[in-house]
């Protein structure tokens, strides 16, 4: 069996949504027992469904949970038209043939539109599942980043230097995580206003009263939620951030200093 092709066919998703016939379900279960890879894939699918329900249990999408539980049982077609018990009053054999033809056409139309409706419902479920799987992938990636960030913050030997806002912006705030043992430094942006397009923030270390350039950075969604590694500099007395022309300056513009914090 080509496992990749089997997974790509979407049959495991149909199994998870209970969209298969008893025979098809038995075949899938037999394949799952033979191939451990399918067990892991099915777990991922079921996890994605459970994750979706746990994330959105307060405001689930319309009828989604019911549709998961009932599969497509909610789409119950109307009964087939019942043929007349007595022959038509006119037309003799031709009338009967005409009536049967109409019934056959009606049954064919009913089957066609019923299948179309089921296909639409399945496609809606499959699309919604794919969307929630993407959401879960993004959530997993975010959680992985937060875990890495937490491990970095809790590392032995860390010192936290808080840089508070100056008169230019008293609400501004950022921190430096400084580790003399590992020779690592990280910038944590807590609250810095987004500057004009021609401006850029620049980080400085004060060593022996002399400012040392530690590079420029932008305020983005990522930098507001994760740590940025910055150059490690020995014997720092203070850290500061100034607002400079894009690309940075050789020396800090003191009147554009936004935050500052000492190591002592």
Q: How far apart are CA 88 and CA 101, in angstroms?
A: 13
Q: How far apart are CA 246 and CA 216, in angstroms?
A: 8
Segment 227-242 shows an average pLDDT of 94
Contact between 240 and 162 (Cβ < 8 Å) = no
Per-residue confidence (pLDDT) for residue 255, from 0 to 100: 95
Segment 166-189 shows an average pLDDT of 93
The position carrying tokens 């298969």 is 20
10 Å CB burial of residue 159 (0-12, 13-18, 19+) is exposed
Neighbouring C-alpha atoms within 13 Å toward the C-beta of 152: 20
- The CA–CA distances, whole Å, from 186 to 71, 88, 107, 232, 241 equal 50, 88, 70, 9, 14
CA angle 231, 232, 235 (to 5 degrees): 135
Q: How far apart are CA 17 and CA 11, in angstroms?
A: 10
Per-residue confidence (pLDDT) for residue 76, from 0 to 100: 44
Per-residue confidence (pLDDT) for residue 90, from 0 to 100: 47
For all residues of the chain together, what is the average pLDDT?
77
Per-residue confidence (pLDDT) for residue 214, from 0 to 100: 97
Segment 154-167 shows an average pLDDT of 89
Higher-confidence position of 51 and 248:
248
Encode burial over 69-86: b for 16+ CB neighbours within 10 A, e otherwise: eebeeeeeeeeeeeeeee
Segment 192-200 shows an average pLDDT of 93
């Amino acid at each position: 069996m080509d496992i990749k092709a089997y997974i790509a066919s979407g049959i495991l998703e149909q199994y998870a949504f209970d969209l298969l016939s008893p025979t098809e379900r038995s075949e899938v279960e037999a394949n799952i027992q033979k191939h451990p890879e399918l067990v892991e894939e099915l777990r991922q699918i079921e996890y994605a469904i459970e994750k979706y329900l746990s994330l959105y249990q307060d405001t689930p999408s319309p009828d989604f949970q019911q549709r998961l539980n009932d599969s497509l049982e909610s789409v119950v077609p109307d009964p087939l038209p019942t043929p007349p018990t007595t022959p038509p009053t006119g037309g003799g054999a031709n009338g009967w043939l005409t009536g049967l033809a109409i019934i056959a056409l009606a049954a064919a139309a009913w089957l066609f539109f019923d299948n179309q409706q089921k296909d639409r419902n399945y496609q809606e479920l499959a699309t919604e599942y794919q969307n929630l799987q993407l959401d879960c992938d993004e959530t997993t990636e975010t959680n992985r980043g937060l875990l890495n960030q937490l491990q970095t913050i809790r590392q032995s030997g860390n010192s936290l230097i808080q840089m508070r806002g100056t008169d230019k912006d008293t609400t501004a705030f950022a921190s430096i995580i400084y580790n003399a043992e590992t020779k690592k430094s990280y910038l944590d942006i807590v609250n810095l206003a987004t500057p004009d397009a021609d401006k850029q923030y620049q980080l400085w270390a004060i060593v022996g009263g002399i400012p040392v350039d530690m590079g420029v950075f932008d305020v983005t969604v990522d930098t507001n939620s994760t740590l940025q590694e910055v150059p490690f500099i020995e014997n720092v007395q203070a850290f500061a951030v100034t607002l400079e022309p894009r690309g940075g300056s050789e020396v800090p513009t003191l009147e554009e200093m936004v935050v500052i914090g000492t190591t002592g």
